[in-house]
Amino acid sequence: MYHLAGKTIILSRTDHIGDVTLSLPLASALKRLAPSCKIIYLAQEYTRAVVEQYADVDGFLDWNTLNQAPDGGLSQLQAVNADIFVHLRPKKAIAKLAAKAQIPYRVGSIHRPYHWFTCNKLLNVLRTSKTTLHGSQIELQYLQAFTGQKEKPATFDSIANLLHFKPFTKPLAALELLEPDKFNLILHPKCLSQAGKREWPETYFAKLITTLPQSKFKIFISGTENEGAAMRKTLCEPYAHVTDLSGKLSLAEFIQFIAASDGLIAGSTGPLHLAGALGIHALGFYTPAISHAPSRWRPIGPKAEFLVTKEPCEVCQRRHDDGMACQCIQTLTPECVVPILKRWEEEKCDACVA
Protein backbone atom coordinates (compact mmCIF):
# COMPACT_ATOMS: atom_id res chain seq x y z
CA MET A 1 0.00 0.00 0.00
CA TYR A 2 1.28 3.45 -0.95
CA HIS A 3 0.86 5.92 1.91
CA LEU A 4 -0.88 9.11 0.79
CA ALA A 5 -0.95 11.07 4.05
CA GLY A 6 0.38 14.57 3.48
CA LYS A 7 1.21 13.87 -0.16
CA THR A 8 0.49 16.25 -3.07
CA ILE A 9 -1.22 14.49 -5.97
CA ILE A 10 -1.69 15.84 -9.48
CA LEU A 11 -4.58 14.36 -11.46
CA SER A 12 -4.24 15.07 -15.18
CA ARG A 13 -7.50 15.29 -17.18
CA THR A 14 -7.06 17.77 -20.02
CA ASP A 15 -10.26 17.31 -22.02
CA HIS A 16 -13.94 18.28 -21.81
CA ILE A 17 -16.23 19.40 -18.97
CA GLY A 18 -18.12 16.12 -18.87
CA ASP A 19 -14.93 14.03 -18.74
CA VAL A 20 -13.52 16.17 -15.94
CA THR A 21 -16.80 15.92 -14.02
CA LEU A 22 -16.82 12.13 -14.29
CA SER A 23 -13.27 12.00 -12.93
CA LEU A 24 -14.01 14.02 -9.77
CA PRO A 25 -15.16 11.04 -7.66
CA LEU A 26 -11.55 9.79 -7.79
CA ALA A 27 -10.46 12.94 -5.96
CA SER A 28 -13.02 12.21 -3.25
CA ALA A 29 -11.95 8.57 -3.02
CA LEU A 30 -8.33 9.65 -2.53
CA LYS A 31 -9.37 12.10 0.19
CA ARG A 32 -11.19 9.28 1.97
CA LEU A 33 -8.01 7.21 1.89
CA ALA A 34 -5.95 10.13 3.21
CA PRO A 35 -7.81 13.31 4.24
CA SER A 36 -4.50 15.17 4.61
CA CYS A 37 -3.44 14.66 1.00
CA LYS A 38 -3.52 17.64 -1.36
CA ILE A 39 -5.08 17.20 -4.82
CA ILE A 40 -4.22 19.41 -7.78
CA TYR A 41 -5.96 19.13 -11.17
CA LEU A 42 -4.03 19.63 -14.39
CA ALA A 43 -6.74 20.50 -16.89
CA GLN A 44 -7.82 22.99 -19.52
CA GLU A 45 -8.59 26.52 -18.38
CA TYR A 46 -12.20 26.38 -19.54
CA THR A 47 -12.90 23.58 -17.06
CA ARG A 48 -11.43 25.52 -14.11
CA ALA A 49 -14.85 26.52 -12.74
CA VAL A 50 -15.87 22.87 -12.44
CA VAL A 51 -12.68 21.88 -10.63
CA GLU A 52 -12.62 24.88 -8.30
CA GLN A 53 -16.22 24.30 -7.21
CA TYR A 54 -15.39 20.75 -6.14
CA ALA A 55 -14.74 20.38 -2.42
CA ASP A 56 -12.12 17.62 -2.66
CA VAL A 57 -9.76 19.46 -5.02
CA ASP A 58 -7.19 21.86 -3.58
CA GLY A 59 -5.68 23.50 -6.65
CA PHE A 60 -5.69 23.93 -10.41
CA LEU A 61 -3.04 24.00 -13.14
CA ASP A 62 -3.87 25.13 -16.66
CA TRP A 63 -2.26 22.83 -19.22
CA ASN A 64 -2.18 25.47 -21.97
CA THR A 65 -0.29 27.89 -19.71
CA LEU A 66 2.28 25.22 -18.90
CA ASN A 67 2.57 24.07 -22.49
CA GLN A 68 3.16 27.60 -23.80
CA ALA A 69 5.79 28.51 -21.22
CA PRO A 70 9.39 28.93 -22.52
CA ASP A 71 10.52 25.80 -20.67
CA GLY A 72 7.39 23.83 -21.55
CA GLY A 73 5.96 24.30 -18.07
CA LEU A 74 8.78 22.48 -16.28
CA SER A 75 9.49 25.16 -13.67
CA GLN A 76 5.78 25.68 -12.93
CA LEU A 77 5.21 21.97 -12.49
CA GLN A 78 8.28 21.59 -10.26
CA ALA A 79 7.08 24.51 -8.12
CA VAL A 80 4.05 22.44 -7.08
CA ASN A 81 6.39 19.98 -5.32
CA ALA A 82 4.09 17.11 -6.22
CA ASP A 83 4.74 13.65 -4.87
CA ILE A 84 2.40 11.82 -7.24
CA PHE A 85 1.24 12.33 -10.82
CA VAL A 86 -1.71 10.35 -12.20
CA HIS A 87 -2.34 10.31 -15.96
CA LEU A 88 -6.13 9.98 -16.19
CA ARG A 89 -6.13 11.17 -19.79
CA PRO A 90 -2.93 9.88 -21.35
CA LYS A 91 -1.04 12.55 -23.27
CA LYS A 92 2.52 11.98 -24.44
CA ALA A 93 3.71 15.55 -23.89
CA ILE A 94 2.39 15.58 -20.33
CA ALA A 95 3.90 12.18 -19.57
CA LYS A 96 7.32 13.43 -20.70
CA LEU A 97 6.94 16.64 -18.68
CA ALA A 98 6.04 14.83 -15.45
CA ALA A 99 9.03 12.52 -15.89
CA LYS A 100 11.35 15.44 -16.62
CA ALA A 101 10.06 17.19 -13.49
CA GLN A 102 11.14 14.07 -11.57
CA ILE A 103 7.85 13.70 -9.73
CA PRO A 104 8.60 10.65 -7.58
CA TYR A 105 5.52 8.48 -8.23
CA ARG A 106 4.09 8.63 -11.76
CA VAL A 107 1.06 6.48 -12.52
CA GLY A 108 -0.05 5.59 -16.04
CA SER A 109 -1.68 2.95 -18.19
CA ILE A 110 0.42 0.03 -19.38
CA HIS A 111 -1.44 0.24 -22.69
CA ARG A 112 0.35 3.49 -23.60
CA PRO A 113 3.91 2.59 -24.75
CA TYR A 114 5.30 6.03 -23.83
CA HIS A 115 4.25 5.37 -20.23
CA TRP A 116 6.76 2.50 -20.15
CA PHE A 117 9.53 5.11 -20.21
CA THR A 118 7.85 8.01 -18.38
CA CYS A 119 5.95 6.32 -15.51
CA ASN A 120 7.20 4.12 -12.68
CA LYS A 121 3.81 2.63 -11.81
CA LEU A 122 1.90 0.99 -14.66
CA LEU A 123 -1.69 -0.19 -14.32
CA ASN A 124 -3.82 -2.38 -16.55
CA VAL A 125 -6.40 0.33 -17.14
CA LEU A 126 -7.88 0.20 -20.62
CA ARG A 127 -9.74 3.06 -22.25
CA THR A 128 -10.84 2.33 -25.85
CA SER A 129 -13.98 2.65 -27.97
CA LYS A 130 -14.82 -0.93 -27.00
CA THR A 131 -14.48 -0.44 -23.26
CA THR A 132 -17.73 -1.26 -21.46
CA LEU A 133 -16.95 0.37 -18.11
CA HIS A 134 -18.33 3.80 -17.31
CA GLY A 135 -15.93 6.76 -17.38
CA SER A 136 -16.07 7.20 -13.59
CA GLN A 137 -15.52 3.48 -13.04
CA ILE A 138 -12.39 3.62 -15.19
CA GLU A 139 -10.99 6.57 -13.23
CA LEU A 140 -11.57 4.83 -9.91
CA GLN A 141 -9.46 1.89 -11.07
CA TYR A 142 -6.44 4.14 -10.52
CA LEU A 143 -6.97 3.67 -6.79
CA GLN A 144 -5.14 0.35 -7.08
CA ALA A 145 -1.89 2.30 -7.45
CA PHE A 146 -2.33 3.30 -3.80
CA THR A 147 -4.27 0.45 -2.21
CA GLY A 148 -2.27 -2.35 -3.82
CA GLN A 149 -5.51 -4.11 -4.67
CA LYS A 150 -7.22 -4.49 -8.03
CA GLU A 151 -10.37 -2.42 -7.79
CA LYS A 152 -13.73 -3.91 -8.69
CA PRO A 153 -15.93 -1.64 -10.81
CA ALA A 154 -17.62 0.79 -8.44
CA THR A 155 -21.41 0.83 -8.44
CA PHE A 156 -23.16 3.95 -9.69
CA ASP A 157 -24.70 4.48 -6.24
CA SER A 158 -21.29 4.34 -4.55
CA ILE A 159 -19.89 6.81 -7.08
CA ALA A 160 -22.82 9.17 -6.49
CA ASN A 161 -22.11 9.00 -2.75
CA LEU A 162 -18.55 10.23 -3.38
CA LEU A 163 -19.64 13.44 -5.13
CA HIS A 164 -18.85 16.49 -3.00
CA PHE A 165 -19.27 20.03 -4.33
CA LYS A 166 -18.72 23.17 -2.28
CA PRO A 167 -21.71 25.28 -1.21
CA PHE A 168 -22.23 28.37 -3.34
CA THR A 169 -21.51 31.64 -1.56
CA LYS A 170 -21.45 34.31 -4.31
CA PRO A 171 -24.77 36.03 -5.12
CA LEU A 172 -26.08 35.34 -8.63
CA ALA A 173 -28.67 37.68 -10.13
CA ALA A 174 -29.89 35.01 -12.57
CA LEU A 175 -31.31 32.99 -9.67
CA GLU A 176 -34.10 35.56 -9.48
CA LEU A 177 -35.41 34.06 -12.74
CA LEU A 178 -36.27 30.82 -10.95
CA GLU A 179 -39.86 30.38 -9.78
CA PRO A 180 -40.09 28.42 -6.53
CA ASP A 181 -43.72 27.41 -7.10
CA LYS A 182 -42.91 25.80 -10.46
CA PHE A 183 -40.56 23.08 -11.68
CA ASN A 184 -37.55 24.96 -13.04
CA LEU A 185 -36.38 22.97 -16.05
CA ILE A 186 -33.24 23.59 -18.12
CA LEU A 187 -33.22 22.33 -21.71
CA HIS A 188 -29.70 22.04 -23.15
CA PRO A 189 -30.21 21.04 -26.79
CA LYS A 190 -26.66 21.12 -28.16
CA CYS A 191 -23.77 18.71 -27.64
CA LEU A 192 -20.09 18.99 -28.48
CA SER A 193 -17.80 16.58 -30.30
CA GLN A 194 -19.04 13.09 -31.17
CA ALA A 195 -22.12 13.47 -29.01
CA GLY A 196 -23.28 16.22 -31.35
CA LYS A 197 -24.36 13.63 -33.89
CA ARG A 198 -26.70 12.21 -31.27
CA GLU A 199 -28.52 15.39 -30.35
CA TRP A 200 -32.21 15.11 -29.57
CA PRO A 201 -33.94 16.97 -32.44
CA GLU A 202 -34.81 20.63 -31.88
CA THR A 203 -38.34 19.86 -33.05
CA TYR A 204 -38.66 17.47 -30.11
CA PHE A 205 -37.51 20.14 -27.67
CA ALA A 206 -40.05 22.51 -29.24
CA LYS A 207 -42.84 19.98 -28.81
CA LEU A 208 -41.83 19.46 -25.21
CA ILE A 209 -42.03 23.21 -24.63
CA THR A 210 -45.56 23.37 -26.03
CA THR A 211 -46.69 20.23 -24.19
CA LEU A 212 -45.59 21.06 -20.65
CA PRO A 213 -48.14 23.21 -18.77
CA GLN A 214 -46.89 26.74 -18.15
CA SER A 215 -48.61 26.74 -14.79
CA LYS A 216 -46.28 24.00 -13.56
CA PHE A 217 -43.03 24.38 -15.50
CA LYS A 218 -40.60 27.26 -15.87
CA ILE A 219 -38.37 26.52 -18.89
CA PHE A 220 -34.85 27.75 -19.63
CA ILE A 221 -32.76 27.18 -22.76
CA SER A 222 -29.01 26.97 -22.17
CA GLY A 223 -25.91 26.83 -24.34
CA THR A 224 -23.02 28.91 -25.60
CA GLU A 225 -23.59 32.13 -27.53
CA ASN A 226 -22.93 30.34 -30.83
CA GLU A 227 -25.36 27.58 -29.88
CA GLY A 228 -27.93 30.17 -28.88
CA ALA A 229 -27.63 31.91 -32.24
CA ALA A 230 -28.40 28.59 -33.93
CA MET A 231 -31.51 27.77 -31.92
CA ARG A 232 -33.11 31.00 -30.66
CA LYS A 233 -35.46 31.33 -33.62
CA THR A 234 -36.84 27.82 -33.10
CA LEU A 235 -36.72 27.33 -29.32
CA CYS A 236 -36.81 30.78 -27.71
CA GLU A 237 -38.38 33.53 -29.80
CA PRO A 238 -41.64 31.64 -30.59
CA TYR A 239 -42.34 31.05 -26.87
CA ALA A 240 -42.76 34.05 -24.59
CA HIS A 241 -42.61 31.87 -21.47
CA VAL A 242 -39.17 30.41 -22.31
CA THR A 243 -36.09 32.14 -20.85
CA ASP A 244 -32.98 32.17 -23.02
CA LEU A 245 -29.79 31.70 -20.99
CA SER A 246 -27.49 30.86 -23.90
CA GLY A 247 -24.32 32.94 -23.84
CA LYS A 248 -25.49 34.91 -20.80
CA LEU A 249 -23.71 33.08 -17.97
CA SER A 250 -20.10 32.17 -17.30
CA LEU A 251 -19.44 28.51 -16.58
CA ALA A 252 -19.13 29.24 -12.85
CA GLU A 253 -22.48 31.04 -12.92
CA PHE A 254 -24.09 28.30 -14.98
CA ILE A 255 -22.96 25.66 -12.49
CA GLN A 256 -24.59 27.64 -9.69
CA PHE A 257 -27.75 28.08 -11.74
CA ILE A 258 -27.92 24.34 -12.47
CA ALA A 259 -27.54 23.54 -8.77
CA ALA A 260 -30.43 25.87 -7.89
CA SER A 261 -32.73 24.49 -10.61
CA ASP A 262 -34.91 21.41 -10.40
CA GLY A 263 -33.99 19.47 -13.54
CA LEU A 264 -32.03 19.41 -16.79
CA ILE A 265 -32.47 17.55 -20.07
CA ALA A 266 -29.68 17.08 -22.61
CA GLY A 267 -27.72 14.64 -24.70
CA SER A 268 -24.45 13.21 -23.43
CA THR A 269 -22.69 16.49 -22.69
CA GLY A 270 -21.02 18.41 -19.88
CA PRO A 271 -24.09 20.16 -18.41
CA LEU A 272 -25.89 16.82 -18.16
CA HIS A 273 -23.05 15.35 -16.09
CA LEU A 274 -22.88 18.49 -13.96
CA ALA A 275 -26.63 18.32 -13.28
CA GLY A 276 -26.37 14.70 -12.18
CA ALA A 277 -23.34 15.38 -10.00
CA LEU A 278 -24.97 18.44 -8.42
CA GLY A 279 -27.91 16.33 -7.32
CA ILE A 280 -30.78 17.70 -9.40
CA HIS A 281 -32.95 15.68 -11.79
CA ALA A 282 -30.97 14.93 -14.95
CA LEU A 283 -32.19 13.10 -18.06
CA GLY A 284 -29.89 12.14 -20.94
CA PHE A 285 -30.50 10.57 -24.35
CA TYR A 286 -28.36 7.67 -25.55
CA THR A 287 -27.85 5.03 -28.21
CA PRO A 288 -26.79 1.47 -27.25
CA ALA A 289 -23.73 1.52 -29.54
CA ILE A 290 -20.86 0.51 -27.22
CA SER A 291 -18.78 3.70 -27.51
CA HIS A 292 -21.78 5.95 -26.81
CA ALA A 293 -23.94 3.79 -24.54
CA PRO A 294 -25.22 4.85 -21.11
CA SER A 295 -23.07 2.10 -19.60
CA ARG A 296 -20.13 4.31 -20.63
CA TRP A 297 -21.51 7.83 -20.38
CA ARG A 298 -24.71 8.00 -18.34
CA PRO A 299 -25.00 10.86 -15.84
CA ILE A 300 -24.29 9.89 -12.26
CA GLY A 301 -26.12 11.30 -9.27
CA PRO A 302 -28.98 10.59 -6.87
CA LYS A 303 -31.56 11.82 -9.40
CA ALA A 304 -29.80 11.02 -12.68
CA GLU A 305 -31.69 9.07 -15.38
CA PHE A 306 -31.38 8.24 -19.06
CA LEU A 307 -33.34 7.03 -22.03
CA VAL A 308 -31.69 4.71 -24.54
CA THR A 309 -32.79 3.57 -27.99
CA LYS A 310 -33.52 -0.13 -28.53
CA GLU A 311 -31.16 -0.52 -31.48
CA PRO A 312 -28.28 1.65 -32.72
CA CYS A 313 -28.62 3.02 -36.23
CA GLU A 314 -25.95 2.58 -38.90
CA VAL A 315 -24.41 5.96 -38.10
CA CYS A 316 -23.95 5.14 -34.41
CA GLN A 317 -22.27 1.83 -35.20
CA ARG A 318 -19.64 3.40 -37.42
CA ARG A 319 -16.21 3.88 -35.94
CA HIS A 320 -15.39 7.07 -37.83
CA ASP A 321 -17.32 10.32 -37.92
CA ASP A 322 -18.70 10.93 -41.41
CA GLY A 323 -20.74 13.97 -40.40
CA MET A 324 -24.09 12.20 -40.66
CA ALA A 325 -26.60 12.64 -37.86
CA CYS A 326 -27.87 9.76 -35.77
CA GLN A 327 -31.31 8.48 -36.73
CA CYS A 328 -32.08 6.10 -33.86
CA ILE A 329 -32.12 8.91 -31.27
CA GLN A 330 -35.28 10.14 -32.96
CA THR A 331 -37.13 7.06 -31.65
CA LEU A 332 -36.94 8.65 -28.19
CA THR A 333 -39.95 10.89 -28.75
CA PRO A 334 -41.29 13.69 -26.52
CA GLU A 335 -44.08 11.29 -25.55
CA CYS A 336 -41.39 9.20 -23.81
CA VAL A 337 -40.14 12.20 -21.87
CA VAL A 338 -43.35 13.88 -20.70
CA PRO A 339 -44.27 11.20 -18.11
CA ILE A 340 -40.80 11.48 -16.58
CA LEU A 341 -41.10 15.25 -16.28
CA LYS A 342 -44.55 15.00 -14.76
CA ARG A 343 -43.16 12.58 -12.18
CA TRP A 344 -40.37 15.02 -11.37
CA GLU A 345 -42.84 17.88 -10.98
CA GLU A 346 -45.11 15.80 -8.74
CA GLU A 347 -42.16 14.82 -6.56
CA LYS A 348 -41.28 18.50 -6.07
CA CYS A 349 -44.90 19.32 -5.34
CA ASP A 350 -45.17 16.51 -2.78
CA ALA A 351 -41.93 17.62 -1.12
CA CYS A 352 -43.22 21.19 -0.84
CA VAL A 353 -46.46 19.99 0.77
CA ALA A 354 -44.56 17.77 3.19
Chosen domain end from 136, 162, 188: 162
- Regarding whether 191 and 145 lie in a shared domain, the answer is no
At 152-174, the pLDDT tens digits run 899 999 999 999 999 999 899 99
Query: What per-residue confidence (pLDDT) applies to 322?
Result: 55
Residues 242 and 287 in one domain: yes
- Cα separation, 317 vs 322, in Å, equals 12
Q: Could you say which of 104, 136, 162 is where a domain stops?
A: 162
pTM above the 0.85 mark? Answer: yes
Dist CA 328 CA 198 (whole Å) = 9
CA–CA separation, 205 vs 234, rounded Å? 9
Asked whether residue 154 falls in the same domain as residue 189, the answer is: no
Q: Is the Cα dihedral 175, 214, 222, 167 positive or negative?
A: positive
Higher-scoring residue by pLDDT: 351, 249: 249
Q: Is residue 168 part of a domain?
A: no
Work out the pLDDT band at 319, boundaries 50, 70, 90.
Answer: low
Residues 243, 149: one domain? no
Instruction: Find how far residue 273's CA is from the centre of its chain.
Output: 4
Is residue 141 a part of any domain in this protein?
A: yes
Q: For the chain, what is the largest distance between any 2 Cα atoms, rounded to a whole number of angstroms?
A: 62
Bridge partners of 188, per DSSP, are 266
Whether 102 and 144 map to the same domain: the answer is: yes
Average pLDDT over residues 268-287: 95
> Looking at the structure, do residues 119 and 233 belong to the same domain, yes or no?
no
Residue 167: phi and psi, rounded to 5, are -70, 150
Is the confidence at residue 151, as pLDDT, over 80?
Answer: no
Of the three residues 162, 190, 215, the one that is the final residue of a domain is 162
Same domain, yes or no: 237 and 280: yes
CA 254 to chain centre: 14
Whose CA is closest to 47, among 322, 250, 285?
Answer: 250
- Number of compact structural domains in the chain: 2
Name the region of 187 (left: φ>0; alpha: ψ -120 to 50; beta: rest). Answer: beta
Q: Are residues 220 and 151 in the same domain?
A: no
Alpha carbon distance 279, 275 (integer Å): 6
Residue 275 lies in a domain: yes
Give the C-alpha separation, 187 to 220, whole Å. 6
Q: Are 64 and 44 in contact (CB under 8 A)?
A: yes
Give the C-alpha distances (Å, rounded to integers) separating 220 from 81, 167, 231, 353, 354: 44, 23, 13, 25, 27
Q: Which domain holds residue 31?
A: 8-162
pLDDT per residue as tens digits for the range 95-145: 999 999 999 999 999 999 999 999 999 999 988 777 889 999 999 999 999
User: What is the spatial distance between Cα 239 and Cα 72, in angstroms, rounded to a whole number?
Assistant: 51
Q: Which pLDDT tens digit goes with each residue over 25-56? A: 999 999 999 999 999 999 999 999 999 999 99
pLDDT(195) > 60: no
Q: According to the model, what pLDDT value does residue 109 have?
A: 96
HEC readout, 88-109: CCCCHHHHHHHHHCCCCEEEEE
Whichever domain contains 49, its CATH number is: 3.40.50.2000
Tell whether 118 and 33 lie within a shared domain. yes
